[in-house]
Each structure stands twice: as structure tokens, then as C-alpha cells.
Structure 1
Amino acid sequence: MAFPLPRGITPPEISFLAEMEMVTVLPRQRLDGLELLGGSLPTLLPPRRTTLPLWLALLLKRQRRANILPPPWLHPESLELILEIETQNDEYQHAFSPPPPLPGQPTLAHRDRDRDRAVAAPVPRYTPDGDKYYPTPPFLPQNVARDHIPPGEPPALPFHWLEVGTMLLDAASDDLVEPDQTRRLLKELREVRTAKIRSGVEVLDAAAVGGGGVALTGVGAMEVGEGRGFIAGVVDGLRRIGASKEQARREELAEEMANGGYDASQDYEDDMEF
């Protein structure tokens, strides 16, 4: 008998995919380059910064061979600003903070300044065989350290923000700024955003009868994986309720048609006319 697996990708699988996110490390000793399936890795020369996959950076961190530089969004100031947008901004009372722009798209600051301009299309990349493709997380540099951030650009949570933040807090908390406060802010953000996902019952009701969909712009991968069961269960339950109501209405209409359109209310109308 086959083991029944839940529909969709599971949270452990999402965490496994998040380990392919690229992060910035500061090597503590010289290490030769590696040939991986995703490409060649350069030689690590301290104190030169290098971008590595998260799984390799965590391995080197546990071996005390490198330090991990946190991404710009994983700072207490950035998380506090994102939490303020999620809770106090009227525009995002029932929505989520904007995600990072795709490659080739304007930044969030440029979007606010030039709202009337059309959003640029993402820039494609090409494989060694010449095939065109558009990279998506975890193959985007959304978690690498940045030396310069343009003024006025608000921080944004990447697609794997919860997984990357949890892994870095568990394995490299000494490399983060105020890890206890960072952990508290991540927990508050997760609770606020989870409450938003679970509060869209009216939207789910409209989606169940074909009246629209559920907007998930800005929702992270782990949030989608954890909320998949709840959202699918609610939509399926509402669909069943709507189907039972529709079936009862059709049976009542068929019964009236079988009786020649006669119902008990006609007796009362005849008595009034008499």
C-alpha cells in the first residue's frame, strides 16, 4: 500500500529548495573551488566576499571556515519597517508588503515615484544551448549582502524569507545583528501575515463559486505551503455547501414542475379572492 502524500509541496521540501538560495560569506581560510551541478564555485580567499549556496554556507559556518553576511532585509531596522507596513499602512491592511522586483524591473522606490510608467519586463537569461529562460527564486540574488542600498528604497521580504531567516538564526546567529530581536520580529511578522491569510473567508467564498480568486502577491513559499491545506479545505467546504444548496433548489424546482406549478400558497390566494 502506497503511503498517502499530501497534495502540493510539503514544508520540509520547501526548506530543502530554500537551501539553494545564494548568500554572501566571508571566508576565514583559503579553500579551493568546487565543481557543482549548478556551476563552478570560485576559490575562497579571505577576506574577499563570495556568494555561495545557502547549504554550502551553512556547512562552512558549522566547520568555522566562514562567516555568513546577513541579507539587507534580515536586520532589525528593516524588519521593523516591514512590520509597520504590514500593520499600520492602510493600503496593506488586507494585503501583503510588496515583494522584491524581478530582474529588469524598477525598484520599489522607482515604482512609487513613477506610477504612471509601465513596469519593465524581466530580463531573460540564456542556457549554454541558447534556450531562453526567466530565473525565479531560489535562483535570484534576493538574499545576498549589498554594499549600497539606494536611498528611499524600502526593504522587501524575498520568496523564501521565513526559511532563510530561520536557518540563519539557528546556525549563524552570531553573524546577525541583535539575533534575539530579529527572531522576535520574524515571529511577529509570521503571525501577522498568517492572520491575513486566514482572515480572507469572504474572498474564499467568492472564489468557491467562481467569482474571483485569492490574491497571494508577496506571500512567501513556506506561507503558501502551510496555508495550502487551510485554503484548499475552506474552498472545498464552501464549494460543497454551494453544490448542496444548488441541488436542493433544483429538486424543489423539479417537484414544482411535476405538480404543474401548484404549491400550497395557491390555496391561501384562492381563499382571499373568494
Structure 2
Amino acid sequence: MAGQSDHSLSIFSAAEVEFIAEDEMIEIVPNIRMDALNLLCGDFGPFLPQIPCTVPLWLAVALKKRGKCSIRTPDWMSVEKLTQVLEAERESPREFQPLPFHYVEISRLLLYHAHDDIPEVYMVRSLIEDIRNVRFHKVESGLETISGRTHAVKLKNLSAMEVNLVRPFMARVLQAFYKHDSPEMVQQADTSASKRPQVVDRGPRRDLRPR
């Protein structure tokens, strides 16, 4: 039963967070001529050789897998920008640097599917891993400061994956703090945590991107 309770507090799995991140827009450079795609989530294209256009990440990966485009690395994924972020993260033990909300998922997908399009890819991979480690350490340090008198915890600029990791821990901690003072609050928290959000069905587009 304890295992089931812990699982119910984990609102999204890592795969579900990544699924949501695939709707982020990214720039590609097609190498083929193709008419516009009219999908439930929007219209994209037409696609012309060497003419950049913006599409959802899932579509960019699907086209990349078929050799129909290259993917332009986002500006924040350059070695210069990532180095600046890493230095700032290390110099500010209580602050998180602003990064895209889905930086973890976007970088993972691009490093896996479009590594040949990323300049200095090994350095980029290393920097992102270092940034993740520094930020996760800050999250842990921030949670360690929680006491029985804590009514709110402010962690600004957290990413989606970081929020997902913090949420179940925070729910358990706050339940432990308030269970004697306010049983009603604990009951409401248990009821909310057990309701797992449904992932939106994006229809037939998954046919474009088999795993």
C-alpha cells in the first residue's frame, strides 16, 4: 500500500513530461519540397528546400528521422550561452537561471535525434548535464530548509522536469507537517494526488513518428 501511495503522488512520469514538451516550436531547414501539412494542432508548411520554417518539436523529429530536414539548434543551446548559465548557477546558490521550461526534454530529444546538427555537441551535452546537476542540488538544498513553520516555498525559474520531481516530495512533507493540525487538509491532498491528469490525445499524428 505504501508503494501505491507514493506512486499516486507522482503526477506525471518522465515520458509524459517529454510528450508535453514535444509541442514546443523549433526551427528546421527542409531539404525537400512538400505541401503544407494540415493537422488537428495547426497548419505547417509549405516546405521548401533550404528555406527555414517553424514546426512543433515532434514534427521536426519525425522529418529528421526520414532525412527530410536538419534541425536548427536553439540559441540557448550554444556552448557560449550554456557556459554563461552554468557559471551563473554556480555563483547564485539560492537562485535559478531562466531557461526554457522544457529545457531538459528539448535538449534530450535534440541530442538523441539531431546530434549531427548541434555544433560542439559533446561540449553541449556536458554543459547541460552539469547545469542539471547544479540545479537539482539547489532544489534539494532548498527543500532541506523546510521546517514546521513553512507555509510556502518559492523556487523561481524551475523547469517542468524539476517541478515534477519536487511536487510529490512537497506533498508528502506538507502532509506530515499539518496532519495533526488539519486532518481535512491531508484528506483533500490525498484526494487531489490520486487524480492522475489525462494526457491529451493528439490524434493520428503519432503515425508520423514511430519509435
TM-score under structure 2 normalisation? 0.77
Corresponding residue for 2:191? none
Structure holding more helix per residue: 2
Q: Matches of 1:202 and 1:64 in 2, distance apart?
A: 48
Q: Give the partner amino acid of 1:47.
A: Q
Structure 2: how far apart are the matches of 1:161 and 1:201?
A: 22
The letter for the 1-side match of 2:8 is P
User: Of the candidates 104, 109, 127, which is equivalent to residue 167 of structure 1?
Assistant: 109
d(CA) in 2 for partners of 1:10 and 1:239? 27
Aligned position for 1:94? 94
Structure scoring higher RCO (CA < 8 A, sep ≥ 6) equals: 2
Other structure's SS at 2:20 match: helix
In 1, the alpha carbon distance for the partners of 2:134 and 2:78 equals 18
Q: Which of 58, 68, 71 matches 1:68?
A: 71
For structure 1, the residue ranges without an aligned partner over 5 or more in a row are 100-156, 245-274
**2:137, 2:34 → 1: CA distance?**
45
The answer as to whether partners of 1:204 and 1:235 remain within 8 angstroms in 2 is no
Residue 39 of structure 1: CA displacement? 1.6
Aligned partner letter, 2:106? V
Q: Which residue of 2 aligns with 1:227?
A: 166
Instruction: Count how many residue pairs are aligned between Structure 1 and Structure 2.
Output: 175
Match of 2:46 among 43, 52, 64: 43
Runs of 5+ unmatched residues, structure 2: 182-211
SS in 1 for 2:76: coil
> Any residues of structure 2 matched to 1:26-41 within 5 Å, and which?
26-41=29-44
TM-score (norm 1): 0.60
What residue is the counterpart of 2:176 in the other structure? 237
Q: How far apart are the structure 1 equivalents of 2:137 and 2:80?
A: 23
Partner of 1:52, secondary structure, is strand
Q: 1:204 aligns with which of 106, 129, 146?
A: 146
Give the C-alpha shift of residue 212 in structure 1. 3.4
CA contact (8 A) 1:203 1:213 kept: no
Structure 1's 239 and 203: CA in aligned 2 closer, same or farther, altered over 3 A?
farther
Aligned identity (percent) is 36
Describe the superposition over 1:18-71 as per-residue Cα deviations: whole angstroms up to 9, x where unpaired: 000000000011111111122211210011100000000001111110000010
Query: 2 CA distance for matches of 1:57 and 1:212?
Result: 43
Task: Give 1:214's match in structure 2, choosing from 153, 168, 174.
Answer: 153
Aligned to 2:77, what secondary structure does the other structure show?
Answer: coil
Q: Deviations over 1:217-268 (max 9, x none)?
A: 110001111222233333333445xx39xxxxxxxxxxxxxxxxxxxxxxxx
Residue from 10, 13, 22 that aligns with 2:13: 10
> Structure 2: how far apart are the matches of 1:202 and 1:30?
55
CA distance in 1, matches of 2:146, 2:40: 41
Structure 1 contact 159–220 (Cα < 8 Å) conserved: yes
- RMSD (Å) for aligned C-alpha atoms: 1.8
Partners in 1 of 2:129 and 2:155 — Cα distance?
A: 20
Please say if residues 162 and 222 of structure 1, whose CA atoms lie closer than 8 Å, have aligned partners that are also in contact. Answer: yes
Instruction: Report how far residue 162 of structure 1 moved.
Output: 0.4
Structure 1 counterpart of 2:140, one-letter code: R
State the AA in 2 paired with 1:10.
S
Aligned to 2:86: 83
